Amino acid sequence: MEDKFDCIIIGGGIAGLSAAMTLARNNAKFLLIERGEFSGAKNVSGGVLWGEGLSKLVPEYWNDEDAGFERYINHRRLTFMDGDSTFSIDFKSESFNEQPYKGIIVLRSKFDNWLSEKVMEAIEESDYADESFLAPNILVEEVLMDGGKAVGIRAGEEKFYADSIIIAEGVNNLLTRQVGLQNKYVPADALAVGVKEIIRYDQKVLEDRFQLNGLSGMSNEFIGTATQGVEGGGFLYTNKDTISFGLVLSMISLRDSGLKPYDILNEFKAHPVLKDTLKGGEVIEYSAHAVSTGDMKVMPKEIYSDGVLVAGEAANLLMNSGKAIQGMDYAMHSGILAAETIVEAKTKKDFSAGTLKNYRTKLEDSFVLKDMKNFQGAVDFLHSKQMFQTVPGLVCDFGKQFFSIKNEPTPKTREMLSKSVKKHSSYWELLKLGLKGARSL
Protein backbone atom coordinates (compact mmCIF):
# COMPACT_ATOMS: atom_id res chain seq x y z
CA MET A 1 0.00 0.00 0.00
CA GLU A 2 3.00 2.28 -0.47
CA ASP A 3 1.93 3.87 -3.73
CA LYS A 4 -0.48 6.71 -4.06
CA PHE A 5 -4.09 5.82 -4.81
CA ASP A 6 -6.31 7.48 -7.40
CA CYS A 7 -8.88 7.87 -4.68
CA ILE A 8 -9.43 7.18 -0.99
CA ILE A 9 -13.07 6.69 0.02
CA ILE A 10 -13.88 7.40 3.65
CA GLY A 11 -16.84 5.29 4.74
CA GLY A 12 -18.12 1.94 3.49
CA GLY A 13 -21.85 2.65 3.61
CA ILE A 14 -24.04 2.82 0.55
CA ALA A 15 -22.51 6.05 -0.82
CA GLY A 16 -18.94 4.85 -0.31
CA LEU A 17 -19.56 1.37 -1.69
CA SER A 18 -21.39 2.73 -4.74
CA ALA A 19 -18.43 5.00 -5.39
CA ALA A 20 -16.06 2.04 -4.92
CA MET A 21 -18.03 -0.14 -7.33
CA THR A 22 -17.91 2.60 -9.96
CA LEU A 23 -14.16 3.15 -9.48
CA ALA A 24 -13.44 -0.59 -9.71
CA ARG A 25 -15.42 -0.91 -12.93
CA ASN A 26 -13.52 2.04 -14.39
CA ASN A 27 -10.16 0.59 -13.48
CA ALA A 28 -9.20 3.09 -10.86
CA LYS A 29 -6.92 2.25 -7.95
CA PHE A 30 -8.58 3.05 -4.66
CA LEU A 31 -8.67 2.45 -0.94
CA LEU A 32 -11.98 2.38 0.93
CA ILE A 33 -11.73 2.75 4.70
CA GLU A 34 -14.60 1.73 6.95
CA ARG A 35 -14.57 2.26 10.71
CA GLY A 36 -16.90 -0.67 11.47
CA GLU A 37 -15.77 -4.28 11.74
CA PHE A 38 -17.42 -4.72 8.36
CA SER A 39 -19.56 -2.55 6.10
CA GLY A 40 -22.90 -2.01 7.81
CA ALA A 41 -21.69 -2.72 11.35
CA LYS A 42 -22.13 0.97 12.24
CA ASN A 43 -25.06 1.85 10.01
CA VAL A 44 -28.71 2.43 10.81
CA SER A 45 -31.60 3.40 8.58
CA GLY A 46 -35.38 3.01 8.54
CA GLY A 47 -35.03 1.46 5.98
CA VAL A 48 -36.30 1.36 2.49
CA LEU A 49 -33.97 1.75 -0.45
CA TRP A 50 -36.34 3.36 -2.94
CA GLY A 51 -36.13 3.27 -6.70
CA GLU A 52 -34.44 1.09 -9.25
CA GLY A 53 -30.88 2.39 -8.78
CA LEU A 54 -29.55 -0.83 -7.28
CA SER A 55 -30.48 -2.79 -10.42
CA LYS A 56 -28.05 -0.60 -12.33
CA LEU A 57 -25.25 -0.93 -9.79
CA VAL A 58 -25.73 -4.68 -9.29
CA PRO A 59 -27.65 -5.94 -12.35
CA GLU A 60 -30.28 -8.57 -11.52
CA TYR A 61 -29.35 -8.48 -7.87
CA TRP A 62 -32.62 -10.28 -7.07
CA ASN A 63 -31.20 -13.46 -8.60
CA ASP A 64 -28.46 -13.57 -5.97
CA GLU A 65 -29.01 -16.45 -3.59
CA ASP A 66 -28.87 -14.23 -0.52
CA ALA A 67 -29.20 -10.80 -2.05
CA GLY A 68 -28.77 -8.72 1.08
CA PHE A 69 -32.27 -7.25 1.07
CA GLU A 70 -35.15 -8.40 3.24
CA ARG A 71 -38.23 -7.89 1.09
CA TYR A 72 -39.38 -5.84 -1.89
CA ILE A 73 -42.28 -3.46 -1.51
CA ASN A 74 -45.62 -4.09 -3.22
CA HIS A 75 -47.77 -2.73 -0.42
CA ARG A 76 -47.73 0.79 0.97
CA ARG A 77 -49.77 2.30 3.73
CA LEU A 78 -50.02 5.78 5.20
CA THR A 79 -51.74 5.85 8.59
CA PHE A 80 -53.27 8.81 10.40
CA MET A 81 -53.58 8.29 14.15
CA ASP A 82 -55.36 9.83 17.10
CA GLY A 83 -55.47 8.47 20.65
CA ASP A 84 -57.71 5.49 19.95
CA SER A 85 -58.05 5.15 16.16
CA THR A 86 -56.14 4.82 12.92
CA PHE A 87 -57.26 5.79 9.42
CA SER A 88 -55.10 4.44 6.61
CA ILE A 89 -54.58 5.02 2.93
CA ASP A 90 -53.59 1.63 1.62
CA PHE A 91 -52.16 0.73 -1.76
CA LYS A 92 -51.09 -2.69 -2.97
CA SER A 93 -50.37 -3.65 -6.54
CA GLU A 94 -49.36 -6.78 -8.37
CA SER A 95 -47.51 -4.54 -10.83
CA PHE A 96 -45.06 -3.81 -8.02
CA ASN A 97 -44.04 -7.48 -8.05
CA GLU A 98 -42.19 -6.95 -11.30
CA GLN A 99 -38.42 -6.55 -11.41
CA PRO A 100 -36.67 -4.23 -11.07
CA TYR A 101 -38.43 -3.60 -7.77
CA LYS A 102 -39.66 -0.11 -6.87
CA GLY A 103 -38.18 -0.31 -3.41
CA ILE A 104 -36.53 -2.87 -1.17
CA ILE A 105 -36.49 -3.10 2.59
CA VAL A 106 -33.00 -3.49 4.00
CA LEU A 107 -31.22 -4.04 7.29
CA ARG A 108 -27.95 -2.22 6.90
CA SER A 109 -25.75 -4.63 8.80
CA LYS A 110 -26.64 -7.29 6.23
CA PHE A 111 -27.20 -5.18 3.15
CA ASP A 112 -24.02 -3.10 3.27
CA ASN A 113 -22.01 -6.22 4.02
CA TRP A 114 -23.50 -7.93 0.95
CA LEU A 115 -22.83 -4.86 -1.20
CA SER A 116 -19.20 -4.81 -0.02
CA GLU A 117 -18.85 -8.41 -1.25
CA LYS A 118 -20.12 -7.29 -4.65
CA VAL A 119 -17.50 -4.52 -4.64
CA MET A 120 -14.81 -7.10 -3.79
CA GLU A 121 -15.87 -9.08 -6.85
CA ALA A 122 -15.63 -5.94 -9.00
CA ILE A 123 -12.14 -5.22 -7.61
CA GLU A 124 -11.03 -8.74 -8.49
CA GLU A 125 -12.11 -8.20 -12.07
CA SER A 126 -10.37 -4.82 -12.34
CA ASP A 127 -6.78 -4.00 -13.38
CA TYR A 128 -5.99 -3.23 -9.75
CA ALA A 129 -7.16 -6.53 -8.26
CA ASP A 130 -4.15 -6.54 -5.90
CA GLU A 131 -3.85 -2.79 -5.41
CA SER A 132 -7.37 -1.63 -4.53
CA PHE A 133 -8.63 -2.43 -1.04
CA LEU A 134 -11.60 -2.37 1.27
CA ALA A 135 -10.11 -1.79 4.71
CA PRO A 136 -12.54 -2.23 7.64
CA ASN A 137 -12.09 -1.54 11.35
CA ILE A 138 -10.02 1.62 10.75
CA LEU A 139 -11.06 5.08 11.85
CA VAL A 140 -9.97 7.98 9.65
CA GLU A 141 -9.15 10.81 12.02
CA GLU A 142 -8.01 13.46 9.61
CA VAL A 143 -8.02 14.44 5.96
CA LEU A 144 -4.47 15.56 5.16
CA MET A 145 -4.29 18.90 3.41
CA ASP A 146 -1.45 20.45 1.46
CA GLY A 147 -1.82 24.02 0.30
CA GLY A 148 -5.61 23.85 0.52
CA LYS A 149 -5.80 20.59 -1.40
CA ALA A 150 -6.81 17.26 0.10
CA VAL A 151 -3.92 14.83 -0.44
CA GLY A 152 -4.55 11.90 1.87
CA ILE A 153 -5.83 10.67 5.19
CA ARG A 154 -4.46 9.85 8.62
CA ALA A 155 -5.65 6.94 10.75
CA GLY A 156 -3.78 6.78 14.02
CA GLU A 157 -0.10 6.98 13.11
CA GLU A 158 -0.65 5.75 9.56
CA LYS A 159 -0.95 8.03 6.56
CA PHE A 160 -2.22 7.16 3.10
CA TYR A 161 -2.05 9.40 0.07
CA ALA A 162 -4.27 9.79 -3.00
CA ASP A 163 -5.07 12.18 -5.84
CA SER A 164 -8.59 12.51 -4.51
CA ILE A 165 -10.74 11.83 -1.45
CA ILE A 166 -14.44 10.96 -1.39
CA ILE A 167 -15.92 11.66 2.03
CA ALA A 168 -18.87 9.33 2.59
CA GLU A 169 -18.81 9.32 6.38
CA GLY A 170 -22.54 9.69 7.05
CA VAL A 171 -24.63 12.38 8.69
CA ASN A 172 -22.23 13.01 11.57
CA ASN A 173 -19.80 14.50 9.10
CA LEU A 174 -16.77 15.39 11.21
CA LEU A 175 -14.30 15.27 8.31
CA THR A 176 -16.53 17.35 6.04
CA ARG A 177 -16.31 19.94 8.81
CA GLN A 178 -12.55 19.47 9.19
CA VAL A 179 -11.90 20.25 5.51
CA GLY A 180 -14.03 23.38 5.87
CA LEU A 181 -17.00 22.41 3.71
CA GLN A 182 -19.39 22.38 6.67
CA ASN A 183 -19.44 24.62 9.74
CA LYS A 184 -17.83 23.16 12.86
CA TYR A 185 -21.16 23.33 14.71
CA VAL A 186 -24.32 22.23 12.93
CA PRO A 187 -27.44 23.36 14.80
CA ALA A 188 -30.28 20.93 15.52
CA ASP A 189 -32.92 22.88 13.52
CA ALA A 190 -32.80 20.71 10.43
CA LEU A 191 -32.07 17.44 12.16
CA ALA A 192 -34.12 14.66 13.61
CA VAL A 193 -33.36 11.60 15.68
CA GLY A 194 -34.59 8.21 14.58
CA VAL A 195 -35.21 5.51 17.16
CA LYS A 196 -35.91 2.00 16.05
CA GLU A 197 -36.58 -1.52 17.24
CA ILE A 198 -36.15 -4.77 15.41
CA ILE A 199 -39.04 -6.96 16.51
CA ARG A 200 -38.97 -10.66 15.71
CA TYR A 201 -41.91 -12.95 14.91
CA ASP A 202 -42.35 -16.46 13.74
CA GLN A 203 -42.00 -15.98 9.97
CA LYS A 204 -45.36 -17.60 9.24
CA VAL A 205 -47.07 -15.30 11.76
CA LEU A 206 -45.42 -12.27 10.18
CA GLU A 207 -46.40 -13.32 6.65
CA ASP A 208 -50.01 -14.00 7.63
CA ARG A 209 -50.39 -10.84 9.69
CA PHE A 210 -49.11 -8.54 6.96
CA GLN A 211 -50.38 -10.60 3.99
CA LEU A 212 -46.91 -11.15 2.61
CA ASN A 213 -46.26 -13.56 -0.23
CA GLY A 214 -42.77 -14.89 -0.96
CA LEU A 215 -40.44 -11.91 -0.69
CA SER A 216 -43.15 -9.25 -0.88
CA GLY A 217 -43.19 -6.63 1.85
CA MET A 218 -45.04 -3.63 3.23
CA SER A 219 -44.02 -0.13 4.21
CA ASN A 220 -46.23 1.78 6.61
CA GLU A 221 -45.71 5.37 7.72
CA PHE A 222 -47.63 6.99 10.59
CA ILE A 223 -48.52 10.55 11.46
CA GLY A 224 -50.43 11.85 14.46
CA THR A 225 -50.33 10.59 18.05
CA ALA A 226 -47.49 8.22 17.16
CA THR A 227 -45.17 11.04 18.19
CA GLN A 228 -47.10 12.39 21.22
CA GLY A 229 -47.26 15.87 19.73
CA VAL A 230 -43.61 15.98 18.73
CA GLU A 231 -42.94 16.90 15.11
CA GLY A 232 -42.18 13.75 13.14
CA GLY A 233 -43.71 10.39 12.34
CA GLY A 234 -43.52 6.66 12.72
CA PHE A 235 -42.63 3.75 10.46
CA LEU A 236 -43.11 0.01 10.16
CA TYR A 237 -41.32 -2.06 7.52
CA THR A 238 -41.59 -5.82 7.16
CA ASN A 239 -38.32 -7.74 7.01
CA LYS A 240 -38.00 -11.50 6.46
CA ASP A 241 -38.95 -12.56 9.98
CA THR A 242 -38.73 -9.25 11.81
CA ILE A 243 -40.15 -5.78 11.48
CA SER A 244 -38.31 -2.47 11.63
CA PHE A 245 -40.45 -0.26 13.82
CA GLY A 246 -39.70 3.21 15.02
CA LEU A 247 -40.00 6.97 15.01
CA VAL A 248 -38.29 9.94 13.48
CA LEU A 249 -38.49 12.96 15.79
CA SER A 250 -37.45 16.54 15.19
CA MET A 251 -34.65 17.35 17.65
CA ILE A 252 -35.88 20.84 18.47
CA SER A 253 -39.48 19.74 18.91
CA LEU A 254 -38.34 16.79 21.04
CA ARG A 255 -36.15 19.05 23.15
CA ASP A 256 -39.05 21.39 23.83
CA SER A 257 -41.54 18.60 24.56
CA GLY A 258 -39.75 17.35 27.66
CA LEU A 259 -40.40 13.79 26.46
CA LYS A 260 -37.76 11.15 25.92
CA PRO A 261 -37.57 9.38 22.57
CA TYR A 262 -37.76 5.87 24.03
CA ASP A 263 -40.81 6.79 26.12
CA ILE A 264 -42.58 8.07 23.01
CA LEU A 265 -41.68 4.78 21.32
CA ASN A 266 -43.25 2.86 24.23
CA GLU A 267 -46.46 4.90 23.90
CA PHE A 268 -46.52 4.34 20.14
CA LYS A 269 -46.28 0.58 20.68
CA ALA A 270 -48.99 0.71 23.34
CA HIS A 271 -51.49 2.50 21.07
CA PRO A 272 -54.69 0.38 21.10
CA VAL A 273 -54.55 -0.29 17.35
CA LEU A 274 -50.78 -0.79 17.08
CA LYS A 275 -50.82 -3.09 20.11
CA ASP A 276 -52.79 -5.63 18.05
CA THR A 277 -50.51 -5.19 15.04
CA LEU A 278 -47.39 -5.84 17.12
CA LYS A 279 -48.74 -8.61 19.35
CA GLY A 280 -46.40 -11.50 20.17
CA GLY A 281 -43.17 -9.93 18.93
CA GLU A 282 -39.83 -9.96 20.66
CA VAL A 283 -37.51 -6.94 20.56
CA ILE A 284 -34.08 -8.13 19.47
CA GLU A 285 -32.30 -4.84 18.77
CA TYR A 286 -32.73 -1.20 19.70
CA SER A 287 -30.93 1.46 17.70
CA ALA A 288 -30.95 5.19 17.04
CA HIS A 289 -29.39 7.64 14.66
CA ALA A 290 -29.35 11.31 13.81
CA VAL A 291 -30.90 12.04 10.42
CA SER A 292 -31.32 15.24 8.45
CA THR A 293 -34.89 16.28 7.75
CA GLY A 294 -34.30 17.11 4.11
CA ASP A 295 -34.16 20.83 4.71
CA MET A 296 -31.45 21.98 2.31
CA LYS A 297 -30.23 24.67 4.68
CA VAL A 298 -28.31 21.97 6.59
CA MET A 299 -26.31 20.94 3.50
CA PRO A 300 -22.57 21.65 3.48
CA LYS A 301 -21.58 25.03 2.05
CA GLU A 302 -20.17 23.13 -0.92
CA ILE A 303 -19.84 19.45 -1.79
CA TYR A 304 -16.49 19.66 -3.59
CA SER A 305 -13.17 21.34 -3.10
CA ASP A 306 -9.60 20.79 -4.31
CA GLY A 307 -9.10 17.03 -4.26
CA VAL A 308 -12.21 16.21 -2.27
CA LEU A 309 -15.89 15.35 -2.83
CA VAL A 310 -18.67 14.74 -0.30
CA ALA A 311 -21.33 12.09 -0.99
CA GLY A 312 -24.40 10.59 0.65
CA GLU A 313 -25.67 11.78 3.99
CA ALA A 314 -22.35 13.43 4.76
CA ALA A 315 -23.70 15.97 2.25
CA ASN A 316 -27.12 15.76 3.97
CA LEU A 317 -28.69 14.32 0.85
CA LEU A 318 -31.96 13.11 2.27
CA MET A 319 -35.61 13.96 1.87
CA ASN A 320 -39.02 13.20 3.26
CA SER A 321 -41.49 14.64 0.78
CA GLY A 322 -44.48 12.78 2.18
CA LYS A 323 -44.35 10.23 -0.62
CA ALA A 324 -41.32 8.44 0.76
CA ILE A 325 -38.34 8.98 3.03
CA GLN A 326 -35.43 8.92 0.63
CA GLY A 327 -31.78 8.84 1.56
CA MET A 328 -30.16 5.56 0.60
CA ASP A 329 -31.05 6.03 -3.09
CA TYR A 330 -29.52 9.51 -2.93
CA ALA A 331 -26.43 8.04 -1.26
CA MET A 332 -26.08 5.45 -4.00
CA HIS A 333 -26.49 7.92 -6.84
CA SER A 334 -24.26 10.60 -5.35
CA GLY A 335 -21.57 7.98 -4.70
CA ILE A 336 -21.72 6.88 -8.34
CA LEU A 337 -21.58 10.48 -9.60
CA ALA A 338 -18.67 11.33 -7.30
CA ALA A 339 -16.73 8.33 -8.62
CA GLU A 340 -17.55 9.20 -12.24
CA THR A 341 -16.19 12.67 -11.61
CA ILE A 342 -12.98 11.15 -10.19
CA VAL A 343 -12.62 8.90 -13.25
CA GLU A 344 -12.90 11.96 -15.52
CA ALA A 345 -10.42 13.86 -13.38
CA LYS A 346 -7.99 10.95 -13.64
CA THR A 347 -8.20 11.05 -17.44
CA LYS A 348 -7.60 14.80 -17.39
CA LYS A 349 -4.93 14.41 -14.68
CA ASP A 350 -6.56 17.31 -12.92
CA PHE A 351 -8.16 16.87 -9.50
CA SER A 352 -8.58 20.56 -8.77
CA ALA A 353 -11.86 22.13 -7.69
CA GLY A 354 -12.31 23.32 -11.27
CA THR A 355 -12.68 19.74 -12.51
CA LEU A 356 -14.38 18.33 -9.43
CA LYS A 357 -17.06 21.00 -9.78
CA ASN A 358 -18.56 18.66 -12.37
CA TYR A 359 -19.77 16.54 -9.47
CA ARG A 360 -22.11 19.32 -8.41
CA THR A 361 -23.29 19.80 -11.99
CA LYS A 362 -24.01 16.08 -12.32
CA LEU A 363 -25.84 16.02 -9.02
CA GLU A 364 -27.89 19.08 -9.98
CA ASP A 365 -28.85 17.45 -13.27
CA SER A 366 -29.89 14.26 -11.49
CA PHE A 367 -33.07 13.38 -9.58
CA VAL A 368 -31.21 13.91 -6.30
CA LEU A 369 -30.84 17.68 -6.23
CA LYS A 370 -33.73 18.26 -8.67
CA ASP A 371 -36.13 16.52 -6.28
CA MET A 372 -34.64 18.05 -3.17
CA LYS A 373 -35.04 21.51 -4.68
CA ASN A 374 -38.53 20.90 -6.08
CA PHE A 375 -39.90 19.42 -2.90
CA GLN A 376 -38.50 21.83 -0.30
CA GLY A 377 -42.05 23.16 0.02
CA ALA A 378 -43.29 19.65 0.84
CA VAL A 379 -40.59 19.21 3.47
CA ASP A 380 -41.69 22.47 5.06
CA PHE A 381 -45.37 21.49 4.73
CA LEU A 382 -44.90 18.13 6.45
CA HIS A 383 -43.18 19.77 9.36
CA SER A 384 -46.08 22.11 10.02
CA LYS A 385 -48.07 21.45 13.16
CA GLN A 386 -51.30 21.11 11.17
CA MET A 387 -49.88 18.18 9.24
CA PHE A 388 -48.61 16.13 12.15
CA GLN A 389 -51.38 17.07 14.61
CA THR A 390 -54.50 18.73 13.23
CA VAL A 391 -54.99 16.65 10.11
CA PRO A 392 -54.54 13.20 11.72
CA GLY A 393 -56.98 14.19 14.50
CA LEU A 394 -59.51 15.47 11.99
CA VAL A 395 -59.25 12.43 9.73
CA CYS A 396 -59.71 9.98 12.61
CA ASP A 397 -62.60 11.98 14.02
CA PHE A 398 -64.31 11.88 10.64
CA GLY A 399 -63.63 8.12 10.43
CA LYS A 400 -65.31 7.54 13.76
CA GLN A 401 -68.48 9.29 12.55
CA PHE A 402 -68.50 7.94 9.01
CA PHE A 403 -67.92 4.30 9.88
CA SER A 404 -70.26 4.10 12.88
CA ILE A 405 -73.85 3.02 12.25
CA LYS A 406 -76.06 4.14 15.10
CA ASN A 407 -79.59 3.15 14.05
CA GLU A 408 -80.69 6.74 14.31
CA PRO A 409 -81.07 9.31 11.54
CA THR A 410 -77.63 9.58 9.91
CA PRO A 411 -76.24 12.98 9.00
CA LYS A 412 -74.95 13.46 5.48
CA THR A 413 -71.23 12.89 5.04
CA ARG A 414 -70.79 16.59 4.35
CA GLU A 415 -72.18 17.43 7.79
CA MET A 416 -69.90 14.87 9.45
CA LEU A 417 -66.91 16.34 7.74
CA SER A 418 -67.96 19.82 8.70
CA LYS A 419 -68.23 18.75 12.34
CA SER A 420 -64.76 17.18 12.30
CA VAL A 421 -63.26 20.19 10.62
CA LYS A 422 -64.75 22.60 13.15
CA LYS A 423 -63.58 20.46 16.05
CA HIS A 424 -59.95 20.37 14.94
CA SER A 425 -59.49 23.37 12.71
CA SER A 426 -61.49 25.68 10.46
CA TYR A 427 -62.34 25.61 6.77
CA TRP A 428 -60.16 28.65 6.29
CA GLU A 429 -57.16 26.96 7.94
CA LEU A 430 -57.75 23.82 5.91
CA LEU A 431 -58.07 25.78 2.69
CA LYS A 432 -54.73 27.44 3.36
CA LEU A 433 -53.22 24.05 4.23
CA GLY A 434 -54.72 22.43 1.13
CA LEU A 435 -53.33 25.14 -1.12
CA LYS A 436 -49.92 24.88 0.49
CA GLY A 437 -49.98 21.11 0.11
CA ALA A 438 -51.13 21.25 -3.50
CA ARG A 439 -48.37 23.67 -4.37
CA SER A 440 -45.65 21.70 -2.59
CA LEU A 441 -46.44 18.30 -4.07
Residues that bind another protein (CB under 8 A): 35-37, 40-45, 107-110, 112, 137-139, 171-172, 174, 185-188, 191, 193, 195, 197-199, 242, 244, 251, 254-255, 257-262, 266, 269-270, 275, 278-281, 283-290
Query: Which of residues 306 and 329 has its CB atom nearest to another protein in the complex?
Result: 329
User: From residue 227, how far is each of 243, 265, 282, 392 by CA, in Å?
Assistant: 19, 8, 22, 12
Closest distance to another protein from the beta carbon of 406 (Å): 34
Query: Which of residues 27 and 277 has its CB atom nearest to another protein in the complex?
Result: 277
Closest distance to another protein from the beta carbon of 84 (Å): 18
Residue 365 has a CB neighbour count (10 Å cut-off) of: 11
Closest distance to another protein from the beta carbon of 94 (Å): 29
Using DSSP's 3-state secondary structure scheme, residue 105 falls into strand
Closest distance to another protein from the beta carbon of 267 (Å): 9
Closest distance to another protein from the beta carbon of 68 (Å): 12
Query: Which of residues 147 and 258 has its CB atom nearest to another protein in the complex?
Result: 258
Q: Is 423 left (phi over 0), alpha (psi -120 to 50) or beta?
A: alpha
Cβ 184 vs Cβ 177: under 8 Å: yes
**Identity (one letter) of the amino acid at 30?**
F
Closest distance to another protein from the beta carbon of 313 (Å): 11
What is the distance between the alpha carbons of residues 292 and 163, in angstroms, rounded to a whole number?
30
Using DSSP's 3-state secondary structure scheme, residue 128 falls into coil
Cβ 109 vs Cβ 41: under 8 Å: yes
Q: Indicate the pairing of strand 103-106 with strand 142-146.
A: unpaired
Query: Which of residues 279 and 439 has its CB atom nearest to another protein in the complex?
Result: 279
Query: Which of residues 36 and 51 has its CB atom nearest to another protein in the complex?
Result: 36
Query: Which of residues 331 and 369 has its CB atom nearest to another protein in the complex?
Result: 331
Distance between alpha carbon 32 and the CA centroid of its chain, in Å? 22
**Identity (one letter) of the amino acid at 323?**
K
Cβ 105 vs Cβ 69: under 8 Å: yes
